[in-house]
Amino acid sequence: MRAAELAYPGLRWAEVPLAVAPLSEEELRELADAIDEVVAAWQTLELDAEGGATLRLDAQFGENVAATAASRLEVVFSPLGRFATLREVRQDERSDGLEESAVLGVDDRRWAGAVKALQGLLRARAVTLLDMAFLAERVPVHEQPAYEALYGATLTWWSLLFRAMPPEACGYRRGPSV
């Protein structure tokens, strides 16, 4: 800090903690209330045992939308800091029941307005929104044999920041983003 003050005299400097605490349960509930005011969707908030959380948004886009084209938008919060990501979960009705598959990002254009609103609400609360396509990338570190042996995959940013399980093991598939 002293070096920055000497290098740039006249500017104000403040110490910033290296670790930023994740959103508290109270902050998550306040955010859910704020989302409820701007996004017309039914929502549920699920807190993980690891300290992360997932906010699920379900919306009806009109009567002409077939049940086979249903999707849900999820805001996933990291247990390690003020990080979040948006993901779409497709719900396909099959003869043997409902099948869900997550998409890396959001590709259903009907969610575009909700995505914009969520981006603004998260930014206003100093939450860094990370792209799912980025989170699915391999972490550029030396080999992680213990992780690879346990999960049969390489370590990704998703595994490092959100959940230990790799995105592929969670059923993710790549798709375009809104």
CA distance 94 to 142: 42
Determine the pLDDT at residue 122.
Answer: 92
Is residue 32 within a helix (H) or strand (E), and if so which, with residue range? helix 25-38
Q: How far is CA 25 from CA 30, 32, 77, in A?
A: 9, 10, 11
- 3-state SS, residue 5: helix
Number of helices (H), then strands (E), belonging to the chain: the values are: 6, 7
Determine the pLDDT at residue 42.
Answer: 75
Determine the pLDDT at residue 1.
Answer: 57
CB 22 within 8 A of CB 82: yes
What ranges in 46-142 are assigned the alpha helix state H?
A: 112-124, 132-135
Determine the pLDDT at residue 91.
Answer: 77
Determine the pLDDT at residue 16.
Answer: 56
CA distance 172 to 103: 5
Largest CA distance in the chain: 70
Q: Which of these, 116, 112, 22, 15, lies nearest to 76 by C-alpha position?
A: 22
Tens-level pLDDT at each residue, the chain (178 residues): 565 566 556 666 666 555 578 888 899 999 888 888 887 777 888 888 777 888 888 865 544 444 445 788 889 999 888 999 998 888 777 777 777 777 777 888 888 888 898 999 999 999 999 998 888 888 887 777 877 888 788 888 888 888 877 665 555 554 444 4
Domains, the chain, ordered by start: 20-130 (3.30.310)
Please classify residue 87 by burial: count the beta carbons closer than 10 Å to its beta carbon, then call 0-12 exposed, 13-18 middle and 19+ buried: buried
* CA 29 from centroid of its chain's CA atoms: 16
CB 174 within 8 A of CB 133: yes
